[in-house]
Copies of this chain bind each other. A is one copy, B any other.
Amino acid sequence: MTQDLALLVNRLEQRRPLAPQDREAVLALPYQIRTIAHARQVVRQGERRGEFYLVLSGLIHQHRILSDGSRQITSLHVQGDILCLEDEKTALKCGVESIGESQVAVIGVAAFDRLFDASASLARAIWAETLAVASHYREWLVNLGRRNARERILHLLCELGVRLEAAGISGRDRYQVPLTQEQIGDITGLTPIHVNRVLQSLGKDGVIRRDRRMIVITDWPQAADMAGFDSSHMQTKVAEARVQPAIWRAA
């Protein structure tokens, strides 16, 4: 189904306008669908595969494992996101893992590379998407560098809300957290134990309410303010091509 690649077209189109033939070129990309079970790696750190991935459903993260065994999650990806769009010559410096079951479209970089020949506007859209990725890393960088545990976690919760909302999965102030507390720690550079305590403290202070994995952000504007969260760099528009309802397999 070209239904899958429509997600890619949408994403690129949100960055830069595309001509009809640009859309066609994208939709004509050869790809195959892969289903990844919970906690399974899509690509292992250090591998080189000459392919990249478009998330069709589920949730995927990229991470780096350091020599002491600690792990840093460097990015999260929901439906419509693009993964591992990297220089094909270098081995991947991050592993890619699924949280819950997810589906990706696997696309060869060679075929993708040919898109640059297709049209300049397509090239611009791809470039703009990459700029957005860089910008997103930078936000996380600031989060880790200059915020305390409480702000970091709240910042992540705000971001998750906005992204899940933008993906048409739930509301920004009320959603199932697809992440374990350990994973939240791996994102925010904290230990899972501390994450737990901060989460409890946030609940005690009425900033959030929790029930199992359900998170409710009581006062969104206030929470965003406390976290220094600014969504201006993100996609906030709800994706048009909404596909499946929000079923996060338990992690």
Contacts and interface: CB of A to CB of B under 8 A. Distances in A.
Number of copies: 2
Contacts of A144: 141, 144-145, 189
A35 interface: no
Interface of A: 64, 66-67, 70-72, 74-75, 85-87, 90, 93-94, 113, 116-117, 120-121, 123-124, 126-128, 130-135, 137-138, 140-142, 144-147, 187-189, 228, 230, 232-233
A228 B133 contact: no
A125 to B, nearest CB: 10
A2 to B, nearest CB: 24
23 contacts: A64-B138, A64-B142, A66-B142, A66-B146, A67-B228, A74-B141, A85-B131, A87-B128, A87-B131, A93-B232, A94-B138, A113-B124, A123-B124, A123-B127, A126-B127, A130-B131, A134-B134, A144-B145, A144-B189, A145-B187, A145-B188, A145-B189, A146-B189
A89 B137 CA distance: 19
Contacts of A66: 142, 146-147, 228
A25 B141 CA distance: 35
A45 B74 CA distance: 25
Given A72-B142, A146-B189, A116 B120 contact: yes
Contacts of A133: 134
Contact of A117 (B120, B127, B132, B137): B120
